[in-house]
């Protein structure tokens, strides 16, 4: 028993150290926090809650967004807020949003994610819209909260026709 006990304790210490190295709590917490942020974002879009949407983004001129709609580039939260308002104004009724394939990589203060997002609804002219976009977000932890500091929204392009592919799935 005297020989077995030190080996058991030594083995337990090795397992604990491996667990700490392979599954650091800070990264897991950051990923959970960012997942929760993305869930709040999707709920806010479905509710057309502009204030809740903008709480996901850094609230100043440092926000930089590439989007699929002209002008395709937004600098600052005020410019992007205006884009969201115009989007909501162009829809009649509810907007459906689905987020899939979310993958989050995080360190202590910086993180990024990529996902596929499907947006559907009916525009003011009664035309049904259903498109799929790819989204990459870069987050920074500011005053204890994760916020999007850069967003890139894109669609694949059919190289033969040069037209955007708004419906394909990965």
Q: How many residues does the chain have?
A: 170
Q: What is the DSSP string of 83-123?
A: HHHHHHHTEEEEEEEEEEEEEEEE-SSEEEEEEEEEEEEEE
- What is the maximal distance between C-alpha atoms in the chain? 82
165 within some domain: no
51 within some domain: yes
pTM reported for the whole predicted model: 0.81
Task: Give the residues of the chain that fall short of pLDDT 70.
Answer: 1-26, 170
What pLDDT is attached to residue 20?
47
161 within some domain: no
Residue of 142, 156, 120, 161 whose CA lies nearest to 33: 142
What pLDDT is attached to residue 71?
87
State which residues form the domain around 108.
4-154
Burial 2-31 (b: 16+ CB within 10 A, else e): eeeeeeeeeeeeeeeeeeeeeeeeeeeebb
10 within some domain: yes
166 within some domain: no
Q: How many domains does the chain have?
A: 1
170 CA to centre of own chain:
17
pLDDT digits (tens, 9 = 90+) for 118-158: 999 999 999 999 999 999 999 999 999 999 999 999 998 88
CATH number at residue 107: 3.10.450.50
What pLDDT is attached to residue 2?
57
């Amino acid at each position: 028993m005297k020989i077995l006990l030190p080996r058991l304790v030594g083995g337990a210490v090795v397992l604990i150290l491996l667990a700490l190295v392979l599954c650091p709590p800070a990264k897991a917490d950051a990923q959970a926090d960012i997942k929760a942020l993305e869930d709040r974002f999707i709920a806010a879009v479905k509710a057309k809650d502009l204030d809740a949407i903008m709480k996901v983004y850094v609230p100043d001129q440092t926000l930089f967004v590439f989007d699929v709609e002209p002008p395709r580039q937004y600098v600052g939260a005020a410019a992007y807020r205006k884009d969201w308002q115009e989007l909501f104004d162009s829809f009649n009724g509810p907007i459906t949003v689905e987020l899939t394939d979310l993958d989050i990589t995080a360190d202590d203060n910086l993180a990024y994610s990529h996902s596929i997002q499907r947006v559907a609804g009916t525009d003011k002219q009664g035309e049904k819209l259903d498109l799929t976009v790819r989204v990459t977000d870069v987050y920074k932890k500011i005053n204890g909260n994760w916020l999007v500091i850069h967003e890139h929204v894109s669609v694949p392009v059919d190289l033969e026709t040069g037209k955007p592919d708004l419906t394909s799935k990965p």
